[in-house]
Amino acid sequence: MLRRSLIGASATIGLAAPAVAQPRHTPVPAAPRPQARPPAVPSAPPANSPIGPVDTIARNVVLIDFETGATLISKGAEERMPPASMSKLMTMYVVFEYIKNGRIRPDQMMQVSDAAWRMGGSRMFLDRASSVSVDDLSRGVIIQSGNDACVTLAEGIAGSERAFTEIMQNMARELGLTSSTFRNATGWPDPEHRMTPRDLATLSRRVILDHPESYRLYGERSFRWNNITQENRNPLLGKVNGADGLKTGHTEEAGYCLTASVKRGDRRLILVVGGLPTMRARYEEAERLIEWGFREFDNVVLFRAADTIDQVPVYLGDRPTVPLVGGREVVATVPRGWRETLQAKVRFDSPVPAPVVKGQELGQIEVSGRGVPPMTLPLYAGADVERLGVVARIPAVISRMMGRGT
């Protein structure tokens, strides 16, 4: 396995200087605030970040960059916590998948059972035995956080809420949410109903990536049903520049929680906070941490999609090397003042045996440095390399056996 440093050696490996470390986007200024607020006073240990501790009163925090997956803030990110209504993100991911795969339709009607009608907590205020469309029920869950809407969707899809939670669990495993366990469709308190902040951030990213059209529902400001208008419970909508989702949560055990997404220009951040003491603290802490993330970090393009990052020797190929490329823009999340600390290294097996197919994964690029969130991305073959014929291979085999070739 070869490992080569790239930063500071671009001329050696033939990289075009303008292609390295260019700003990803033009920053969009944050919405003006009437007056500055003092930093939060922590009642617990601070959160970790690549550039040092960050004070926060939240019990659990994770802040990630949507494009690169870099973790900007972490505190109890792997702790299994009660997600409260934030687990409705998983409920709706299942609904979105069923719509996408044609198993249910947005205009399909589902009947409200007695069990759904009797649900406590936040409600859509469905009438018992009424029929409601999947589209309206979805808004009831996303905007109004309706427990009655959740149970109606669960029963309509799987026959029972219990069977639906099995679907949630299986789909969560497919998404890589290995620390999440679901016991209901609503987030109702249960000692075994748990998610980690990391899993919630991962799930949020998948909602946005896999269902961009349906995701727009999370940005709707209000929904009226049964002559009752309810505002979206997300406190950031309309107040924090670029906020467009996702979901709040609150129980006595969980405290006040929020999974939020904010997009400015080409850049999006996803934040999960939990264990806050009040609704106001939830809003203020979420706003403060998101502004910190946009202010302290930025995304830069290290290599463009077609840039040759390195040349990989090929054994028994009709050409001696194959270009190693990113296949897409290789973007890193870095702190302001990153230029003196950023390091990028490539790893690949050498030589790679022919044939090599364009797009075949051949190695990885590792980005790190003081204050830089570590990141590893795959690298691919930039061209096809055919295998030499039998006769042409003989000299190469002999040369390799004698230690003179590759």
pLDDT in tens, 22-49: 445 444 444 444 343 434 444 578 999 9
One domain, residues 281 and 311 = no
Cα 238 to the chain's mean position, in Å? Answer: 22
The amino acid occupying position 236 is: L
Evaluate whether residue 193 is within a structural domain. Answer: yes
Beta-strand pair 228-231/22-23: unpaired
At residue 398, the pLDDT reads 56
Q: Residue 27: what pLDDT?
A: 47
**324 vs 32, more confident:** 324
Q: How far is CA 19 from CA 63, 208, 348, 357, 364, in A?
A: 28, 29, 22, 25, 18
Query: What tens digit of pLDDT does each residue of 184-223 get?
Result: 999 999 999 999 999 999 999 999 999 999 999 999 999 9
**Domain identity same for 333 and 258:** no
Q: Which of 87, 122, 138, 145 is catalytic?
A: 145
Cα torsion through 234, 33, 212, 79, rounded to 10: -60
Q: Where are the beta strands (DSSP E) in 182-318?
A: 222-225, 228-231, 243-251, 255-264, 267-276, 297-303, 308-315
The pLDDT score that the predictor gives to residue 323 is 93
Give bridge partners of residue 223 from the DSSP assignment: 230
Out of 49, 74, 75, 85, the active site residue is 85
% residues pLDDT > 90 (the chain) = 71
Q: Are residues 149 and 272 in the same domain?
A: yes
Average pLDDT over residues 68-76: 95
350 is catalytic: no
41, part of any domain: no
Q: How many other β-carbons are positioned within 10 Å of the β-carbon of residue 111?
A: 14
More confident residue, 270 or 400: 270
Domain boundary among 241, 268, 299: 299
| Residue 250: how many other CB atoms lie within 10 Å | 22
Residue 224 located in a structural domain: yes
pTM for this model (two decimals):
0.82
Give the domain CATH number at 194: 3.40.710.10
Query: Looking at the domain assignment, is residue 365 inside a domain?
Result: yes
Q: Is a pLDDT exceeding 60 seen at residue 392?
A: no
Pick from 266, 299, 332: which residue ends a domain? Answer: 299
Confidence of residue 391 (pLDDT cuts 50, 70, 90): very low
Res. 402 pLDDT band, cuts 50 70 90: low
Q: What mean pLDDT do residues 279-297 have?
A: 97
Question: With 60 as the cut, is the pLDDT of residue 394 above it?
Answer: no
pLDDT given for residue 19 in this prediction = 31
Is residue 169 over pLDDT 60?
yes
Q: Dihedral sign, CA of 113, 117, 121, 123?
A: positive
Q: Are residues 204 and 351 located together in one domain of the fold?
A: no
Judgement on whether residues 250 and 118 belong to the same structural domain of the protein: yes
Note down the domain range covering 157: 60-299
Q: Check whether residue 178 and residue 212 sit in a common domain.
A: yes
CA trace torsion 188, 190, 193, 194 (10° rounding):
100
30 is a domain residue: no
pLDDT band at residue 7 under the 50/70/90 scheme = very low
Residue 91 structure tokens: 């409920």
Is 179 among the residues known to form the active site? no
CA distance 46 to 73: 10
Is there a domain that residue 338 lies in?
yes
Number of domains in the chain: 2
The pLDDT assigned to 318 comes to 87
List 74, 75, 88, 204, catalytic entry: 88
pLDDT band with cut points at 50, 70 and 90 for residue 181: very high
Contact 258, 270 (CB under 8 A): no
Given pLDDT bands bounded at 50, 70 and 90, which one contains residue 304? Answer: confident
Please give the residue that has the higher pLDDT: either 300 or 114. 114
Residues 77 and 113 in one domain: yes
Please provide the average confidence, as pLDDT, over all residues in the chain.
87
Whether residues 214 and 164 share a domain: the answer is yes
Q: Is residue 50 part of a domain?
A: no
Position with higher pLDDT, 144 vs 368: 144
Whether 180 and 317 map to the same domain: the answer is no
Measured from the Cβ of residue 158, the count of other Cβ atoms closer than 10 Å reads 18
Q: Measured between alpha carbons, how far is 379 from 260 in angstroms, rounded to an integer?
A: 31
b/e for 327-350, b at 16 or more Cβ within 10 A? Answer: bebbbbbbbeebeebbebbbebeb
End-to-end CA distance of the chain: 14
CA distance 80 to 193: 9
pLDDT, position 262:
98
Query: What CATH number did the domain enclosing 377 receive?
Result: 2.60.410.10
Last residue of a domain, one of 299, 325, 358: 299
Dihedrals phi, psi of 261, to nearest 5 degrees: -130, 135
In this structure, the answer to whether residues 316 and 394 fall within a common structural domain is: yes
Over range 89-118, report the average pLDDT: 98
Whether residue 331 sits in one domain with residue 313: yes
Q: Is residue 74 annotated as part of the catalytic site, yes or no? A: no
Q: Which residues have CB under 8 Å from 173's CB, separation 6+?
A: none
- Please check whether residues 262 and 319 belong to one and the same domain: no
What distance in Å separates the CA atoms of residue 244 and residue 262, rounded to the nearest whole number? 6
Task: Give a yes or no: residue 42 inside a domain.
Answer: no
